[in-house]
């Protein structure tokens, strides 16, 4: 993962299409699910780009407030379609945060902040890469 991030960061100044070596996601399953229909892909990616920042902001606030019930709720919400985007590692991190928040309803676990930082960094990169996917996607 660190190698992927370093590789991506080294190419941040370019507007080149993301390559498999720099991507932290894989649209293969999503493409299969929509029959590789460019209009459907564009619509789903656009919805993802529009909804995830606000959801992540809510999770960040919950982590800062040590609000375990809100952490569990937002982690559950955010992880919903990550498998379709091939974001398995981030999905697993959100599952862990959700479970630990539910299990320790009254006791804070510092690992939540560590995982949150990883999730936040990953999403920062992904939310900068996905618009490039749209730019290189054929129009239906």
Banded pLDDT at 116 (limits 50, 70, 90): very high
Higher-confidence residue of 42 and 6: namely 42
Whether the predicted pLDDT of 23 surpasses 80: no
What domains are there in the chain, each with its CATH number?
30-134 (1.20.120)
Nearest by Cα to 27 from 79, 89, 87, 93: 87
Q: How confident is the model at residue 138 (pLDDT cuts 50, 70, 90)?
A: confident
Give me the pLDDT at residue 22, please: 57
pLDDT reported for residue 108: 80
Tokens coding 105: 């309803």
Give residue for tokens 């299990």.
Answer: 103
In this model, does residue 5 exceed pLDDT 80? no
At residue 17, does pLDDT exceed 80? no
Q: How confident is the model at residue 53 (pLDDT cuts 50, 70, 90)?
A: very high
Whole-number average pLDDT of the chain: 84
Using one digit for the tens of pLDDT, what is the confidence trace for 54-96?
999 999 999 999 999 999 999 999 998 999 999 999 999 999 9
- Torsion sign over Cα 102, 103, 105, 111: negative
Collapsed DSSP state (helix, strand, coil) of residue 46: helix
pTM score, whole prediction: 0.79
CA distance 100 to 84: 24
């Amino acid at each position: 993962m660190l190698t992927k991030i370093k590789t991506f960061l080294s190419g941040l100044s370019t507007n080149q299409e993301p390559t498999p070596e720099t991507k932290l996601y894989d649209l293969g399953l999503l493409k299969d699910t929509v029959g590789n229909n460019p209009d459907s892909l564009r619509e789903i990616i656009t919805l993802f780009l529009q909804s995830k920042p606000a959801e992540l902001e809510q999770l960040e606030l919950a982590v800062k407030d040590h609000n375990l019930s809100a952490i569990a709720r937002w982690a559950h919400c955010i992880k919903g379609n990550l498998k379709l985007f091939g974001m398995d590692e981030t999905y697993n991190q959100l599952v862990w945060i959700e479970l630990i928040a539910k299990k320790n309803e009254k006791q804070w676990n510092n690992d939540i902040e560590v995982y949150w930082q990883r999730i936040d960094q990953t999403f920062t990169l992904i939310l900068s890469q996905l618009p490039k996917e749209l730019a290189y996607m054929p129009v239906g």
